[in-house]
Each structure stands twice: as structure tokens, then as C-alpha cells.
A and B are shown apart, each in its own frame.
Chain A
């Protein structure tokens, strides 16, 4: 019972991180601060992955999203804006943005509820430490197993490869 309370408390903490960070990202008038709020939000997502017994995804979340993508965003901001105190005017189309986000969110929630109706409850009753070791192994096998996800995995790899080649071609100087 107490362990469950602890789980709920940590779940609540990370939820606050994600939602608070998200609100900060869209309301902050300073682009740099918006990027920092985004980090907090993404960090909360990494915490969710730990709660879901997927530490591999949590580490990847921190490494790729915080360590690479947000750093690149900040880098771009640093290169293109004046040093300090720049305030962005609020986007005049924010109402459409809000509507789009709400509709997308609704569709996702509806899909999840319909998909999980009649299934086992989402909160695992097993202790986390007992499932983590297996989940990493399952993930690795699933990505190379012909009967599981090998095709999407290779297609995604090819797509990334093509994007990288394309980036090099675009960035290349004409000779």
C-alpha cells in the first residue's frame, strides 16, 4: 500500500513537471526560457518512462531530447537572437494552435481509452525491478525478430540515412 502511494506521489510530481513545463514553454515570452521549460517537460517524460519500467527509454529520452535536440534549439537561438532581453510578440494565431492541440489530445485519449477498454489495468502490480531486466531484452529482440518489428526498424533507419545524406548535400558548397 505504501509503495503504491509512493508511486502515485512520484507520478504526480512528474505530471507537474510535464504540464508545468509545457505551460511554461508556450507562455514564456523569452525564447530561451521557453527552451528551458521544454527541458523540464521532457525530463518529466523521462521520469514517466522510469515509472513504466523502461529505463532504457528514459536514458534515451534524456540523451536524445535533452542532450541533443534542446541543446540544438538553444544553439540556434543563441546564434540568431540578440544576447538578452528579447521579447517575442505573442503569435496572433494562438487560438487555432490551442484548438488543434485540444483536438489532437482528445483523439489520442479517445484512442487509448478505446484500445485499453476491457484490458488489464495500466498500473502494473509487479515490483518494477522484476520486469526491467526482461523489458530491455525484449526490446532488443523485437527490433531484430523477423516476426516483430524488423521491417519498421529498417525503414526508419533508411529514412534517417536518407535525411542525413540530404542534409549533407544541402549543406555542401557548390564546386
Chain B
């Protein structure tokens, strides 16, 4: 892009700036356009899961429902409540959306398409993520409303607590790839990390769900308890911005899970030079697969009580994440993949050459570490679930409740 402008007679610095600005606009628009589709998808999906039809009036399959909603929100009156802190009140929705969109800057869509391949990409995304916490705080405070403030308190408690297991589990892919750059983490995944360190992937996914405030962790805006929480006073487009921020965030966590644990744009030769678009499609496919899981959880699970949520975090996720990090640290050290040796092995041919021909030399290089870590992870998972089981039994015994098998639903006529 910048080269093209320079060739057509522009100043090199100016061309660079214009190209950067355009890139940022394209990235941000991608996020904003995607949610128009994802809101429809989520409603339709939740509808089908809950045995409803979902939107079906505007356009084919209700596809234009979101456009109708946008029109409605744009024409609504923009209310600023009496006694609100005006500047802060107006700034909060902007910060919420900007904080989420900024994460897109470090996401590698394929080997070449990345906004900025920072060598601290993972840290950047954690730091930027903390800005959204701030946005929720500002909104809750400046609305001058008790429910909004309560929502903000809950948000702080939830978001700050769940950042701990999130960072601890994030350290694992960083450790395995030996880099904090998102692109290097993707390139290090000849074997996707979910097959190597599934426990970290699970902890990361759960804590990210809590960060977004998605069900079952949607206490931040529990409609039935504190009405809508921090954004209760917002109306019109300002409310829509919080709504959009939530939906983009929900999809961003899916992309991040795909990048950090599912191999990002890699797979079936995708994303290599010459197959750029295929790599992008690969990443989006993986992200949508994770998104389906998020939507399934959202449309089926009830809300967790706040004290349960905190206890689950501090008494289960954080210790598990700490143990997990220690185990990975000690086990991964002796098995650092030697890519050069693997290349040589593949070049010799034979069985290794056959495997290397199918999966690539990187697969062979990472295989020993993957096997060792996978076994360790399975053991850890078994012990953790066993401990949870014991704890549950002890709690039930204390309350004098005996576990009962779930009663069967009445037989349907068609059974």
C-alpha cells in the first residue's frame, strides 16, 4: 500500500502515515461490520437452541433485524441523567469500544496480515483489555445511579479477579513459543497448543468468558437483579456502543483463543505465502467454532451467584493455573523443539520423512514435548476434577443432602 503511493509520487513518510491510518480504519471497520452479522447469528442461534424461532420478520431469515435495531437506536432520544458527570458519562462508551477495537491491532490474520506484530503482543492485549474495565467503572460512577454503581462494583470484583488465572494461563503459550509476539505463537504451533496444554486452554477460555461478562458469568448486567448494571442510564447510540463493545469483545475472545491455542491461521497449508486468503478463512472458521461454543453456553446455562463465582476463581482456577504453569515450566524445559534437527531427520527420508512430508518438519520437532505435556495435563485434569468431586460431596454432606439421580423427563408421545 505504502509502496504503491510512493511509486505514484508521494512523499515516503506521508505515504507511510496514510497507509497506517487506512489499515487502522479497515481493521476497526472489520470488527464493527462483523457484529452486524454476529448479533443476528447469536439471536437466531439462541432462538433455535431454546426451541424458539428467533428473528424472522425483517428480510430473509430475519437477516436485516440488526439494521432495523440500529435505525431504532439512532432515532431514540439521547438522555443524560440529572446529576450525571457529563464529560465522564459521554467518554465511557467511546473508551469501551476503542479498548476492544484496539485488540485487533495485534491479531495475526495470516503470515502477512497483522496490524502491528509487536514483540509484546500478548502483554499489549492484556493491557488494553484493562481499559475496558475502566470504561465500565466510569460508566457506573458517572451515571449517578445506585444500580449502575452496583453493576460497576460487581464488574471490578469479577474482572480483576479473573485477570489472575487469565494471565497465568496466557504465560503457558508464551513459554512454549518462547515469544510474546502473537505471530510467533502461531508459528510455534505445528501442533496446536490445545492438544499440548488443554488445561491452560480451558482456564483461558473460562476466564475470558468472565472478562466479557458472558453467561454464566453475566453478573455485571444481571437483568433480573440490577436491571442492566453499569449501562442502565444510557440510551440511544451510547447504549448501542456498550452493546457493540460487548459483542465485539465476545468475538475477540474467540479469535484470541483460536490464535493462542488452536493454531491461528495454520492448518492444511493455509496462510503460507500464496495462500493468504485461505489463512484468513482458516482463522475465522476456528474462531466461529469457538463462538458457537460461547453462544451455546450463553443460551443454556443459568447465572452463577457472585460468591460462587469468586470462590470458583480463587479456590479452584487460580491454584490450578499456578500448578499448571509450574508443571509446564519444568516439563517443557528439557524438550525445547529443535527445528533444524527435525529438518535433517525429514531430509533423511524413511518413516520420519513420511510423517514430515504429511505434517511438516515442525510437527516432528514439537512431538516429544507435546506428548509429555499432554500426559501431564491429563493427570492434572483428573486430579482437579477428583478434588472438585470430593469438595462437592463434602458440601452436600454438610447440608445433609444426598445426591439424587436427575429425574427423567416425562416420556414424549413419540418415544
Contacts and interface: CB of A to CB of B under 8 A. Distances in A.
B126 interface: yes
Interface residues of B, number: 27
A132 B119 contact: yes
Contacts of B128: 62
A8 interface: no
Interface of A: 2-3, 6, 32-33, 36, 39, 55-56, 59-60, 62-63, 66-68, 70-71, 74-75, 78, 83-85, 132-133, 136
A105 B123 CA distance: 32
B152 interface: yes
Given A71-B160, A83-B149, 15 more contacts: A2-B11, A36-B88, A55-B118, A59-B126, A60-B123, A62-B131, A63-B126, A66-B131, A71-B137, A71-B156, A74-B141, A75-B153, A78-B141, A78-B152, A84-B83
9 contacts: A55-B124, A56-B123, A59-B124, A66-B130, A67-B127, A75-B156, A78-B141, A78-B149, A83-B144
A161 to B, nearest CB: 14
Nearest to B133: A71
Nearest to A2: B13
Nearest to A1: B13
Contacts of B131: 62, 66-67
Contacts of B13: 2-3, 6
Interface in B110-166: 118-120, 123-124, 126-128, 130-131, 133-134, 137-138, 141, 144, 146, 149, 152-153, 156, 160
Interface SS majority for chain A: helix
Nearest to A85: B83
Which of B83, B127, B156: most chain A CB closer than 10 A? B127
A75 B138 CA distance: 11
A133 B183 CA distance: 14
Contacts of A63: 123, 126-127, 130
Contacts of B272: none
B120 A136 contact: yes
Given A2-B13, A32-B141, A78-B141, A67 B133 contact: yes
B137 A74 contact: yes
Contacts of B119: 55, 132-133, 136
Given A84-B83, A84-B85, A55 B130 contact: no
Contacts of A78: 137, 141, 149, 152-153
Given A3-B13, A55-B119, A133-B119, A68 B130 contact: yes
A83 B190 CA distance: 54
B322 to A, nearest CB: 14
Contact of A59 (B127, B134, B141): B127
Interface of B: 11, 13, 83, 85, 88, 118-120, 123-124, 126-128, 130-131, 133-134, 137-138, 141, 144, 146, 149, 152-153, 156, 160
Contacts of B88: 32-33, 36
Nearest to B138: A36
Nearest to A43: B131
Given A36-B88, A56-B120, A84 B130 contact: no
Nearest to B130: A67
A33 B126 CA distance: 25
Contacts of B160: 68, 71
Given A55-B120, A71-B160, A62 B127 contact: yes
Contacts of B152: 78
B123 A59 contact: yes
B276 to A, nearest CB: 23
A68 B83 CA distance: 28
Contacts of B138: 36
A33 B88 CA distance: 9
A84 B146 CA distance: 11
A110 to B, nearest CB: 33
Given A55-B119, A78-B152, A84-B85, A71 B124 contact: no
B140 to A, nearest CB: 8
Contacts of A66: 130-131, 134
A133 B160 CA distance: 30
A39 B134 contact: yes
A136 B181 CA distance: 12
Contacts of A2: 11, 13
A2 B138 CA distance: 39
A62 B149 CA distance: 24
Closest 8 CB pairs of A and B: A67-B130, A63-B127, A62-B127, A59-B123, A59-B127, A2-B13, A84-B144, A56-B120
Nearest to A46: B127
A160 B118 CA distance: 29
A121 B258 CA distance: 45
Contacts of A71: 130, 133-134, 137, 156, 160
A32 B128 CA distance: 22
Which of B88, B130, B133, B138: most chain A CB closer than 10 A? B130
Contacts of A33: 88
Nearest to A134: B119
B57 to A, nearest CB: 42
A133 B120 CA distance: 10
B155 to A, nearest CB: 10
